[in-house]
A and B are shown apart, each in its own frame.
Chain A
């Protein structure tokens, strides 16, 4: 069957939603209740109160929120020219989350105005992104990168706050998991006028949005003031997401899935695409939410956001081969390329820095008597504690940066950080499953569970990549989907108030705390092996970014080269994740730093990425262990919190 419009898929979703909603209402309604009882409930009859104040507003909120998120996702994918863009790309939800965390911990009084706290956070995140990319005319690549880094940064700061204060943040965890339950019509009243106005503004942008998909020259030649329209469209998309986030919390995935499904089902032009993304988003969220309501009550509330990802992922997966991809984001403009004259000499220097840094990081540190420089027997003893952590930090950072560099060169997508592969999500799900099933997991058990999860994902992805229609961006899309599933599993776990939570939280933040000596040595060995492979991969990675035609003309086998590179990145990511947790920042920061420093050819770029990624994590680990001794901040978080602004400044300078 050829799908030309998404009418039938949307109709099917609508039927599912309506049936589930009717079933839920019928379960609550006593026989013979009239319409009047629904509209004006009798405060003495609980079921009427429940229907009027919980079930009905929930339906209204699900429809409005889903529609707004779908619309917002479409606008973003068009202006950023990136099929992987979604509301979270702009850092809106993570900005709102951070604002909520700060308010909960230090200004609980303002939480009475919850919507405005979240809205302020979202607005601040957007303002930072716009300010950073303003000088580059809000170019899609810059906005995307700035958005990702602001998002990661807010996420890392929130994670630090969570690590230190999770006892007081359960309310925030529930908010962040995307629950749609309502206790009155307040949220619906908050959403309706705001979404109406922003949707109106979005419709006014219909023509410019059609042109913004084209490349900059064509759009400009049609007389479009690019920056002005981009600003308007970005703000409209952000306002839609921010409104939803402010009212009901973080609902991920819909913003990515709705536009993707609409496109996969045949909507092509901007107008129909906007319409169908909104409709599919609304129905997807409503259907999921009504199904969630019908679930049996267990000891935890199922957040609709999480279930949306669980149900939407297979749907996306089925339709993904129909997907006509948008044009890839343009690589960094030629004018901004800066080259080192002697890249090899700089690499030698970086390599020499590693042992010195490792020695300092193991010898110098805080103890019970304050700062001390350890020597002799004392040093040998301390090395037993500090050595594995320093080695693991370096190896973890280096492997992820290498994986990130390979992926970014291979896909030409600057957003391709290692977690888009899905293997770290697999590892995470494996470890969480072990935590929930075994009362007292051992470290070896955790490693096995993590490896099992990562291997399962890797095998599925490799098998898929051999089938026609699954390659490049499509695989990354599956990886991102998997990431949102695992993210929501984590959100459910956090909201369930499990006393064992702290351990997972620390591991999730990229901590070298649990690493044993043998693991540290193995990770260094793996890093060295991967670095030795670089000379063999160099040619592929120099040619692949030029496009598949050029690469094939130069005699590169696309299937082979992609398979090998993909497998290598996945193995490196899996190893690093199992060892020190998912540290997405090292995978972004290493490659970008190396590129900005002037390493442009694949060979030197890869090695420089690995060295700088490793050094960043090594220093972050040392600082994290010592600055607020005896408290410790995980290396991955520390690197993000300190390194994030630095990378943002570099991007803003337009290097």
Chain B
């Protein structure tokens, strides 16, 4: 099968060529432990601690959907997130491999490569997702002798949260639907127990969706369900929302809603809806600028 644009990242091919050209790929330019990650959440949290993993899956897609912290250019591509290439991880000889809970079935084989460390900053179902995320990041930092990096990360998260809170003093206090528009008819709505709402709770912003949600705090809804809270505001997450919002707004029921008539709609770029401190920090910054536009 020939690679097609989109199907296979061009960057992955280039990275492959780079391997071929490099005489040694020990990655000696990175001091400290060489950690391989098999999922984005671990990679994102590790990068937030200032430690670049030696390898991570789907680098190009990460840059598009997770965005920050950015991936350094010398990182190795591991292929699909569903099947990170373990043979390649083995050949990169990492000192440690981080394992997310959904990859637990791989533990036995990963343990042949290097010591395995579980990492789960999500803690869905807990009372306070941010507290759980903080503890998970701290434990990871301790394991990697990066206590100072953790302190810096925690400070940065706190600073971002308080700056956003300050900015959101000017918010009009309307309840907020937080959603990704899937197509012209349906939305992925993030409810009370989502990571996004945990952040919004810090700013005293109420979630407009009060119905059931999944373990991850989201729910798939048809557009007409938004009619339940006409006084609300709609916050659309992700660039895909930008493309499909036109179709959504064209439907008669949605058009008749007051928050559509009065254009109470805000858009922010992609943020992962799980993954602990880094996506929470990104969401806080983006949401404060989207809800209270203007300089500063």
Contact = CB atoms under 8 A, between A and B. Distances in A.
A51 B78 CA distance: 51
Interface string A541-575: 00000000000000000000000000000000000
A439 B182 CA distance: 26
Given A368-B92, A496-B214, A632 B79 contact: yes
A215 interface: no
Given A183-B185, A183-B251, A368-B91, A301 B80 contact: no
B142 interface: no
B214 A300 contact: yes
B82 interface: yes
Given A301-B186, A367-B91, A631-B12, A181 B222 contact: yes
Interface in A360-410: 367-370, 382, 384-386
Interface string A420-457: 00000000000000000001111101100000000000
A511 B83 contact: yes
Contacts of A161: 7
Given A50-B227, A632-B79, A440 B256 contact: no
Contacts of A441: 104-105
Contacts of B19: 368-370
Contact of B1 (A168, A443, A633): A633
B3 interface: yes
B212 A297 contact: yes
A301 B218 contact: no
Interface string B70-109: 0000001111111101111011100000000111111111
Interface residues on A, range: 35 or more
B80 A499 contact: no
Contacts of A119: none
B252 interface: yes
A299 B219 contact: yes
B108 to A, nearest CB: 7
A540 interface: no
A170 B188 contact: yes
B182 A443 contact: no
Given A297-B212, A367-B88, A630-B12, A106 B186 contact: no
A44 interface: yes
Q: Which of A160, A298, A446 has the most CB of B within 10 A?
A: A298
Given A50-B253, A369-B20, A497-B218, A297 B82 contact: no
A171 B183 contact: yes
Interface stretch (B28-36, B240-248, B278-286): B240-248
A300 B220 contact: yes
Interface of B: 1, 3, 5-8, 12, 16, 19-20, 25, 61, 65, 76-83, 85-88, 90-92, 101-109, 112, 182-186, 188, 211-214, 216, 218-225, 227, 230, 240, 243-244, 247, 251-257, 274
Given A171-B186, A183-B185, A183-B254, 7 more contacts: A105-B6, A298-B212, A299-B218, A367-B88, A382-B87, A499-B216, A631-B79
